[in-house]
Amino acid sequence: MKHDEEIEMLIWDFIDGNCNETEQLRIGALIASDSEWKQKFEELSAMHQNISPELEQPSMRFTKNVMDTIAKTQIAPATKKYINQYVVRGIAAFFIISIGSILAYALFTTNWNSAPSSSLSRLNLSQLHLNGIFNNNVIYMFILVNIVLGLLLIDSVFRKRRMQEQK
Protein backbone atom coordinates (compact mmCIF):
# COMPACT_ATOMS: atom_id res chain seq x y z
CA MET A 1 0.00 0.00 0.00
CA LYS A 2 2.78 2.37 0.92
CA HIS A 3 4.57 1.45 -2.29
CA ASP A 4 1.54 2.57 -4.36
CA GLU A 5 1.37 5.89 -2.52
CA GLU A 6 5.07 6.50 -3.17
CA ILE A 7 4.58 5.74 -6.86
CA GLU A 8 1.64 8.16 -7.02
CA MET A 9 3.62 10.89 -5.27
CA LEU A 10 6.56 10.47 -7.67
CA ILE A 11 4.27 10.47 -10.71
CA TRP A 12 2.44 13.60 -9.45
CA ASP A 13 5.82 15.32 -9.05
CA PHE A 14 6.70 14.18 -12.59
CA ILE A 15 3.40 15.53 -14.02
CA ASP A 16 3.63 18.83 -12.14
CA GLY A 17 7.31 19.26 -13.02
CA ASN A 18 8.43 19.47 -9.38
CA CYS A 19 11.37 17.08 -9.69
CA ASN A 20 14.87 17.63 -11.06
CA GLU A 21 16.17 16.32 -14.39
CA THR A 22 17.68 13.10 -13.06
CA GLU A 23 14.41 12.17 -11.31
CA GLN A 24 12.44 13.06 -14.45
CA LEU A 25 14.65 10.77 -16.53
CA ARG A 26 14.40 7.97 -13.97
CA ILE A 27 10.59 8.26 -13.62
CA GLY A 28 10.21 8.54 -17.42
CA ALA A 29 12.22 5.34 -17.84
CA LEU A 30 10.10 3.56 -15.19
CA ILE A 31 6.89 4.66 -16.92
CA ALA A 32 8.20 3.41 -20.26
CA SER A 33 9.42 0.06 -18.93
CA ASP A 34 7.08 -0.88 -16.03
CA SER A 35 3.40 -1.59 -16.76
CA GLU A 36 2.29 -0.69 -13.20
CA TRP A 37 3.99 2.70 -13.46
CA LYS A 38 2.55 3.22 -16.95
CA GLN A 39 -0.99 2.40 -15.75
CA LYS A 40 -0.69 4.80 -12.76
CA PHE A 41 0.74 7.49 -15.03
CA GLU A 42 -2.18 7.20 -17.47
CA GLU A 43 -4.74 7.33 -14.62
CA LEU A 44 -3.12 10.36 -13.02
CA SER A 45 -2.61 12.11 -16.37
CA ALA A 46 -6.30 11.70 -17.20
CA MET A 47 -7.25 12.99 -13.76
CA HIS A 48 -4.88 15.93 -14.18
CA GLN A 49 -6.48 16.82 -17.52
CA ASN A 50 -9.96 16.73 -15.96
CA ILE A 51 -8.92 18.76 -12.94
CA SER A 52 -7.19 21.61 -14.72
CA PRO A 53 -9.27 22.81 -17.67
CA GLU A 54 -8.50 26.22 -19.09
CA LEU A 55 -9.85 29.04 -16.98
CA GLU A 56 -12.74 30.92 -18.48
CA GLN A 57 -12.30 34.62 -19.01
CA PRO A 58 -15.12 36.90 -17.86
CA SER A 59 -16.80 39.05 -20.45
CA MET A 60 -15.29 42.40 -21.28
CA ARG A 61 -18.18 44.21 -19.63
CA PHE A 62 -18.19 42.11 -16.45
CA THR A 63 -16.62 44.78 -14.23
CA LYS A 64 -18.92 47.46 -15.61
CA ASN A 65 -21.98 45.26 -15.00
CA VAL A 66 -20.94 44.64 -11.40
CA MET A 67 -20.32 48.34 -10.77
CA ASP A 68 -23.70 49.24 -12.32
CA THR A 69 -25.45 46.73 -10.07
CA ILE A 70 -23.71 48.09 -6.99
CA ALA A 71 -24.56 51.68 -7.96
CA LYS A 72 -28.27 50.82 -8.00
CA THR A 73 -28.30 49.66 -4.38
CA GLN A 74 -29.06 52.09 -1.58
CA ILE A 75 -26.43 52.46 1.13
CA ALA A 76 -27.96 52.49 4.59
CA PRO A 77 -27.23 55.74 6.45
CA ALA A 78 -25.37 55.62 9.73
CA THR A 79 -27.62 55.46 12.73
CA LYS A 80 -27.26 57.17 16.06
CA LYS A 81 -26.89 53.79 17.71
CA TYR A 82 -23.20 53.82 16.88
CA ILE A 83 -22.62 56.97 18.93
CA ASN A 84 -22.86 56.49 22.67
CA GLN A 85 -24.54 59.56 24.13
CA TYR A 86 -22.95 58.99 27.54
CA VAL A 87 -19.47 59.28 26.03
CA VAL A 88 -20.37 62.52 24.26
CA ARG A 89 -21.90 63.94 27.43
CA GLY A 90 -18.85 62.84 29.44
CA ILE A 91 -16.50 64.64 27.08
CA ALA A 92 -18.68 67.76 27.14
CA ALA A 93 -18.79 67.63 30.95
CA PHE A 94 -15.00 67.35 31.08
CA PHE A 95 -14.55 70.48 28.99
CA ILE A 96 -17.23 72.42 30.85
CA ILE A 97 -15.67 71.51 34.20
CA SER A 98 -12.19 72.41 32.88
CA ILE A 99 -13.29 75.82 31.63
CA GLY A 100 -15.31 76.46 34.80
CA SER A 101 -12.38 75.55 37.04
CA ILE A 102 -10.03 77.86 35.12
CA LEU A 103 -12.52 80.72 35.43
CA ALA A 104 -13.09 79.99 39.12
CA TYR A 105 -9.33 79.96 39.77
CA ALA A 106 -8.94 83.27 37.96
CA LEU A 107 -11.80 84.84 39.93
CA PHE A 108 -10.63 83.57 43.32
CA THR A 109 -7.01 84.60 42.85
CA THR A 110 -7.90 88.14 41.77
CA ASN A 111 -7.22 90.80 44.39
CA TRP A 112 -10.52 92.69 44.57
CA ASN A 113 -9.35 95.05 47.33
CA SER A 114 -6.75 96.88 45.28
CA ALA A 115 -7.43 100.55 44.65
CA PRO A 116 -8.25 101.47 41.11
CA SER A 117 -5.57 103.54 39.45
CA SER A 118 -6.46 106.89 38.00
CA SER A 119 -4.29 106.48 34.95
CA LEU A 120 -2.98 103.59 32.95
CA SER A 121 0.56 104.95 33.10
CA ARG A 122 0.91 103.77 36.70
CA LEU A 123 0.29 100.19 35.65
CA ASN A 124 3.52 98.26 36.17
CA LEU A 125 3.45 95.10 34.13
CA SER A 126 6.70 93.85 35.63
CA GLN A 127 4.86 93.14 38.88
CA LEU A 128 2.54 90.71 37.15
CA HIS A 129 3.89 87.21 37.72
CA LEU A 130 2.06 85.18 35.09
CA ASN A 131 4.84 82.62 34.78
CA GLY A 132 3.39 80.60 37.63
CA ILE A 133 -0.04 80.47 36.01
CA PHE A 134 0.69 80.40 32.29
CA ASN A 135 3.39 77.79 31.85
CA ASN A 136 3.87 75.56 28.77
CA ASN A 137 1.37 72.95 29.91
CA VAL A 138 -1.43 75.49 30.33
CA ILE A 139 -0.71 77.02 26.95
CA TYR A 140 -0.68 73.58 25.29
CA MET A 141 -3.99 72.69 26.96
CA PHE A 142 -5.47 76.00 25.81
CA ILE A 143 -4.37 75.32 22.23
CA LEU A 144 -5.71 71.76 22.42
CA VAL A 145 -9.11 72.95 23.67
CA ASN A 146 -9.27 75.55 20.90
CA ILE A 147 -8.41 72.94 18.26
CA VAL A 148 -11.11 70.58 19.54
CA LEU A 149 -13.66 73.38 19.60
CA GLY A 150 -12.64 74.40 16.08
CA LEU A 151 -13.06 70.83 14.85
CA LEU A 152 -16.50 70.67 16.45
CA LEU A 153 -17.47 73.90 14.71
CA ILE A 154 -16.25 72.63 11.34
CA ASP A 155 -18.10 69.33 11.88
CA SER A 156 -21.36 71.12 12.66
CA VAL A 157 -21.02 73.30 9.55
CA PHE A 158 -20.40 70.26 7.34
CA ARG A 159 -23.31 68.38 8.89
CA LYS A 160 -25.66 71.30 8.20
CA ARG A 161 -24.49 71.46 4.59
CA ARG A 162 -24.93 67.71 4.16
CA MET A 163 -28.43 67.85 5.60
CA GLN A 164 -29.35 70.70 3.24
CA GLU A 165 -27.97 68.76 0.24
CA GLN A 166 -29.99 65.67 1.13
CA LYS A 167 -33.24 67.64 1.17
- Using DSSP, state whether 39 is helix, strand or coil: helix
* Cα 48 from Cα 43, distance rounded (Å): 9
Handedness of CA 32, 36, 41, 46 (dihedral sign): positive
Provide the pLDDT for residue 99.
94
Which spans in the chain are helix H?
2-16, 21-33, 35-51, 62-72, 85-108, 136-166
* Cα 130 from Cα 119, distance rounded (Å): 22
For every one of its 167 residues, what pLDDT tens digit does the chain have, with 9 covering 90 and above? 467 788 888 888 888 888 888 888 888 888 888 888 888 888 888 887 777 556 567 777 888 888 888 888 877 776 666 777 888 899 999 999 999 999 999 888 887 776 665 555 666 666 666 667 777 888 889 999 999 999 999 999 999 888 888 87
pTM confidence score:
0.33
Per domain, the residue ranges of the chain are 2-50
Provide the pLDDT for residue 45.
83
Provide the pLDDT for residue 78.
67
* Cα 64 from Cα 70, distance rounded (Å): 10
Question: Is the Cβ–Cβ distance between 39 and 8 less than 8 Å?
Answer: no
